[in-house]
Chain A
């Protein structure tokens, strides 16, 4: 239960940070710099989460069912991420447009789920199986 609460708190914190950054920018280019950086951070987080989840599975810190949920999400992320980057590139080429919002919304939806897996994997690695509930 503690893990779930911490995961939820982490996801909310993460999203608040990202949306705070995006909402603070009124014109196109500043918003594109922030959303582009968000996309970059999202890639870093995905790669790091993948490594953590692999390690957690190997050590028994997560169950095969938990890993399967991650795997399903990860494959979906691999399809969606290039599309979000493409939308961002189009927004850059057109100096900001509706696709800026599309890119931000796409990546926000992905990151909210990714943050939960990231926190789950981080906590599983740092805590032994059967430890604090």
Chain B
């Protein structure tokens, strides 16, 4: 029973951690289906700039020697 409760707490904690990503994904889906063509083009341009920055952030990650 205790292990079951701990598992529930784990799932709740993970849901809380993932919450901003879930919100972002839902927002993207809403944006993609409800906005005008011009707004979509602007969203794609903003994403392109963001992803350029993301590529640099991913490349900057380092790993420890084990």
Indicate if the CB atoms of A37 and B44 lie closer than 8 Å.
Answer: no
Given the interface contacts A2-B10, A41-B24, does A30 sit within 8 Å of B66 by beta carbon?
Answer: no
Q: Interface size of A by Cβ–Cβ distance < 8 Å?
A: 53
Indicate if the CB atoms of A34 and B64 lie closer than 8 Å.
Answer: no
B58 CB to nearest chain A CB (Å):
5
Indicate if the CB atoms of A68 and B33 lie closer than 8 Å.
Answer: no
Q: Does B1 contact A (CB under 8 A)?
A: no
A-B contact count (CB 8 A): 127
B contacts with A: majority SS: helix
The complex places the Cα of A38 from the Cα of B25 at a distance, in Å, of: 7
Among B22, B29, B55, which residue has its beta carbon within 8 angstroms of that of A82? B55
A78 CB to nearest chain B CB (Å):
6
Q: Give residues in A with beta carbon < 8 Å to B.
A: 2, 5-6, 9-10, 13-14, 17-18, 21, 24-25, 29-34, 36-41, 43-47, 50, 54, 57, 64-65, 67-68, 70-71, 74-75, 77-78, 81-82, 85, 88-89, 92, 119, 122-123, 126, 132
